[in-house]
Amino acid sequence: MDDTHVPVLVVGGGPVGLSAALFLGQHGVRTLLVEKRDGTSTLPRAPGLQARTLELFRAAGVLPRIRALEMGDSHSYFEGGILRVPTFARIDEAVVVEAPSLDGPDVSPERVMGCGQDRYERVLADLAREAGAETRFSTRLCEFAQDDDGVTAVLEDTVTEVRSTVRAGHLVGADGASSTIREALGVHRTGRGTVFNALSIYFRAPQLEEWLKGRHFILCYATEAPGTLMGLSRLHGCDPWLAAPLYFPERGESPEDFTDERCVEIIRTASGVPDMKVEIVGKVPWQGTQLVAETFRAGRVFLAGDAAHVHPPAGGFGANTGIHDAHNLAWKLAAVLRGQAGDALLDTYDVERRRVGEAMAEQAMIRNRIRHGHADAETTAAMVDDIVITLGYRYRSESVVDDGPEAPVLTPDLRLTGEPGTRAPHVWLDRAGARISTVDLFWDEFVLLTGRAGNGWAAAARLAGERFGIPLRAHVIAENGDLVARERAWTAAFGVDEDDAVLVRPDAMVAWRSRGAVEDKEAALAEVLARVCGLRRSS
């Protein structure tokens, strides 16, 4: 057995695991990623990348490589919403089921983007390797054990069956809904379980584009497919198309019943074109399930993505939420490994992301019930707009200093007003003639924002950072500062005055803001910094 020593072992090479390896590498953390498949995905699953997800890639400096994958302007497909038709050929009779709000120039510098997982996974793998990660495909995790100092894992090359041992400081389980890591840890899940069964059918049908008359949409449901409801996805393009009919095990149905001939029949019936030429490219059965792990951390092992939370795909929250998990965990692991934060900071990964995972799962379930016609008025009223779910979620943890009343993870309306635990508001700034967003300021350091030079906050930031060995960068946003706000006042956006200060974490989440005069700025900031970095717990 060859022994390998790495700070972090990531198991799972889907969007979540690859993003974790990328983000860790960008923070200077050497990572080994293993994946039992022989390569990245060959199917265009998870085709919608949210504005918040793109903000994370933007902050990591890799967004141009991701944006280059977009085929034309995919935003118009999102604007088309979710449709329902009798058949696709009757697209003129389409009823809009959902018209989600997903982004906007006042809330984010980024717009949502459509791209198949088969394309962006390849780029994420390349980017992870360029950031220093080692990737091993055709490699499975056989077993692992953890102690006070790290995790020992046994890996097996699935081609040669040769085994090797890896010693890692931490293990990230991004190994999907049927996670063997979660099972080995004995971590239970709660939720509604499996609520439906579906089959993804990837097919080519050049004639279908003609019948759709160029109509743009995220998803279109056809109600006349025999015995089922079939949805047609549009975000990743149309080569191949993706359709997903339901099947019912309680009626004795199984994926094996869906021969190529039957799939062609379903597609033709749903399309309303009996003689349409259809070529079946691939079939993948899956379950619409709602389950959330009872903890996302067990010692030195962390769960992320579907391994931690799984829910119906309604809303497209799955891969995006998992990538957000990876980002939240990556900067915290990096800070701990550099000695700039305490182990308590890693506890906040579970606290923050589990509450978000539970909220996302519930919202996906609500959308699923609405789309399948099973929602009552109370369920429909509980639906929160997509823009709140993807950009407006709120953290409450030891890494957020907020003396206000308990706030929900999701609010009925988008509230990005600088409150601790929320994503810092997007404000356009001028930096030495370059136009940037406030969101661009946050990646590898804590950042302190203030609105007046000489008010003492910049000096306090330097001294507080030096006291704990924590990089803390200060910016003055003012006409005589290093940054100048354009289009709207940053103080109004963040809910502060010019002499106040706002501390923002490396993930662009507001950690703390001062309100009113602070006599000893260095002491106040040092106390806050120690708490949010897990070096000192609140009393």
Mean pLDDT of 386-403: 92
What is the model's pLDDT at position 76? 86
Give strand pairing partners of 82: 98, 219
Is CATH 3.90.850.10 the right assignment for the domain spanning 1-341? Answer: no
Cα distance between residue 192 and residue 349, in whole Å: 24
Distance of CA 399 to the CA centre of its chain: 20
Q: How confident is the model at residue 538 (pLDDT cuts 50, 70, 90)?
A: very low
Mean pLDDT confidence for 28-53: 91
Of the chain, the percentage scoring pLDDT greater than 90 comes to 73
What percent of the chain is modeled with pLDDT above 70?
Answer: 97
Question: In angstroms, rounded to a whole number, what is the distance separating the alpha carbons of residues 490 and 449?
Answer: 10
Mean pLDDT across 338-344: 96
Q: How far apart (Å, rounded) are the C-alpha atoms in residues 11 and 172?
A: 6
Q: Average the pLDDT over each of 208-217, 324-333, 440-449, 494-503 and give the range with the smallest value.
A: 208-217
Could you tell me the pLDDT band of residue 466, with boundaries at 50, 70 and 90? very high
How far is the C-alpha of 530 from the C-alpha of 55, rounded, in Å?
27
pLDDT for 539 = 40
Q: What is the CATH number of domain 428-532?
A: 3.40.30.120
**Number of C-alpha atoms within 13 angstroms, CB side, residue 492?**
5
Point out the catalytic residue in the list 120, 202, 221, 247: 221
The span from the CA of 160 to the CA of 188, in Å, is 34
Element (H, E) at 389: helix 386-391
pLDDT digits (tens, 9 = 90+) for 138-147: 999 999 999 9
At residue 116, what is the residue type? G
Per DSSP, the three-state class of 80 is coil
Looking at residue 46, its pLDDT comes to 77
For the chain, how many residues are written?
539
Q: Determine whether 221 is an active site residue.
A: yes
Which residue shows structure tokens 């069956």? 161
Residue 353's pLDDT is 98
Q: How confident is the model at residue 398 (pLDDT cuts 50, 70, 90)?
A: very high
| Delimiting residues of CATH 3.40.30.120 domain(s) in the chain | 428-532
Contact 159, 285 (CB under 8 A): no
- First-to-last alpha carbon distance for the chain, in angstroms, is 48
Region(s) of the chain under CATH 3.50.50.60: 1-341
